[in-house]
Chains A and B, each alone.
Chain A
């Protein structure tokens, strides 16, 4: 009978699914351990400074660094909030093996910031695009997270010459965030190419992007007059040009390789197997659209409105005649980021002038019901998200444990010391006068 109980428990245990383990787990754990030791040291030093200064403001600033380090570790999830990085934070890592990533953006540096989907930690990383990455960043959309959060695509170029002339090897790079390995895909063009407007197909096989062909490119200057759209097959390494005109929008690639684009109110798609290959929706849409995303099956195409417009998200069924459309989402800026599944969209909702946006899950035929992920915009830009994670509930992680702003601490200490010295001198003078 004892064996029978054991056997029944054994059979019950067999129902357990195979564990999904993050290959970067060990490295992240070691980084967390190093971080804890730095925080512990900073706290100890901070306590000494607080006692010496004796100022309530100084004490509270140091204590802000005394938070518990983010250590919870579970299955990947989208955090309930994406925080901006304070301007005094300037340490960067070069190791891109940060694990499954929920969101990425450029901060004030600019450095790329990767938000872990496993423990909610923030990593500022130095993408291997050389010192001139600021130029790539300033174009916007020059970094994109794969839907499952395991890879990061970004613009890449070799060191720029002092004077424009030689061709600069450049193109698209894809980092595997589980291993840290980087694959580079060089693209041809005059003095080099600056890649922007990167996006992934739902299954992560294709990348769509725009290419600014540089006719002048050196450390001080860049000039481009030619723009083209391309689709890269990551399995074969083969890139093809997409004939969707000169619009500088973000191409959306379907799992079957079709490419759509919405920019400045116009939209269309390219299907190399169809006749004609290009379908132009000019004049057929009432909304001012500027973003696009194919559903996983490729049956639906969602188009989002840009900030300031009063449009919504428009969902099309490209195979239907007449073209069937559904409108959903809230009025205002709705950047369509991707599809969570066949019936729901991931949309970044922004309102002109507000410091935060909201990452929402919107039914293709309705309005978002869940509160959504709050995104601190601030000095940050180029937000990209692992939209597959939105299929599961979001998770509340501890707020990032930023190191203390020692520059401000030093400033407070100097002010306090000066105030003390002034007080002392004043007291001595007053005593002399009263004698």
Chain B
């Protein structure tokens, strides 16, 4: 029996929302903002359900990337300086320490820089795919990625080894 639109949507949310939430969390760095972002894009997707062409997940993810940037612009959140004096890394596992530094450093990137990094290194999209998803040029993706990695290196020197490897990718 053919599913109704509502059933299909509910099934989509039940199966894909956890994965979408993880991406939203990486994009925003905050659980509440991530939930806001996810609710917003799913609500808009539900309004258009039945008329979405192609993969619903691809549609929702694209919408999430764009909405994330729009939300950041509306909120006008000022960027704060990275505080190297707070040293909570002593005694932590090396990888955990690196993860904390990455989380803090990501929070200091612009939203577009962060989005490009998440698409390139978490979603594993190529430069061309990232450009197509965000509706920007490949050259813009390259330069934004380069700026983001440079900034990560400045904000968190501990990441130099990791960031240096990524720049060569």
Residue positions of A touching B, CB distance < 8 A: 1-2, 4-6, 8-23, 25-30, 32-33, 71-75, 118-119
Contacts and interface: CB of A to CB of B under 8 A. Distances in A.
A74 B39 contact: yes
Interface in B33-48: 34-36, 38-40, 42-44, 46-47
B89 interface: no
Contact of A75 (B18, B36, B165): B36
A317 B49 CA distance: 53
Contacts of A19: 17-18, 20-21, 35, 38
B13 interface: yes
Given A5-B166, A73-B39, A21 B47 contact: no
B118 interface: yes
A216 B162 CA distance: 82
A174 to B, nearest CB: 23
B99 interface: yes
Contact of A16 (B25, B40, B121): B25
Contacts of A28: 43, 46
A241 to B, nearest CB: 42
A4 B99 CA distance: 11
B32 interface: yes
B57 interface: no
A333 to B, nearest CB: 34
Contacts of A33: 47
B98 interface: yes
Contacts of B32: 75
A14 B46 contact: no
A8 B102 contact: yes
A118 B46 CA distance: 15
A20 B13 CA distance: 11
B9 A26 contact: yes
A119 B47 CA distance: 14
Nearest 4 pairs of A and B residues by beta carbon: A1-B165, A29-B46, A16-B25, A73-B43
B47 A13 contact: no
Interface in B75-114: 95, 98-99, 102-103, 106
A9 B25 CA distance: 10
Given A4-B162, A25-B42, A118-B39, A9 B118 contact: yes
A435 B32 CA distance: 79
B138 to A, nearest CB: 19
Nearest to B71: A74
A13 B6 contact: no
29 contacts: A1-B162, A1-B166, A2-B121, A2-B166, A4-B165, A5-B166, A6-B121, A6-B122, A8-B98, A8-B99, A8-B162, A9-B102, A13-B122, A16-B22, A16-B25, A16-B31, A19-B17, A19-B20, A19-B21, A25-B9, A25-B13, A25-B43, A26-B46, A28-B43, A32-B43, A33-B47, A73-B42, A73-B43, A119-B43
Contact of B21 (A8, A16, A71, A73): A16
A61 to B, nearest CB: 29
B141 interface: no
Given A16-B21, A32-B47, A2 B169 contact: yes
A118 B40 CA distance: 10
Contacts of A5: 121, 162, 165-166
Nearest to B49: A26
B22 A14 contact: yes
A23 B13 CA distance: 10
Interface in B104-155: 106, 118, 121-122, 124
Contacts of A16: 21-22, 24-26, 31, 34
B68 interface: no
Nearest to A74: B36
Nearest to A15: B25
A27 B6 contact: yes
A406 B166 CA distance: 63
Residue from A9, A20, A21, A27 with most neighbouring chain B CB atoms (10 Å): A9
A21 B20 CA distance: 12
A341 B114 CA distance: 37
Given A19-B18, A20-B35, A73-B40, A10 B165 contact: no
Contacts of B24: 16
Contacts of B44: 29, 71, 73
Contact of B23 (A13, A21, A72, A74): A13
Contacts of A30: 46-47
Given A6-B122, A15-B25, A29-B43, 16 more contacts: A1-B166, A5-B162, A5-B165, A9-B102, A12-B99, A12-B103, A12-B106, A21-B13, A21-B42, A23-B10, A25-B9, A26-B9, A27-B6, A28-B43, A75-B32, A75-B36
Nearest to A29: B46
Contacts of A14: 22
Contacts of A119: 43
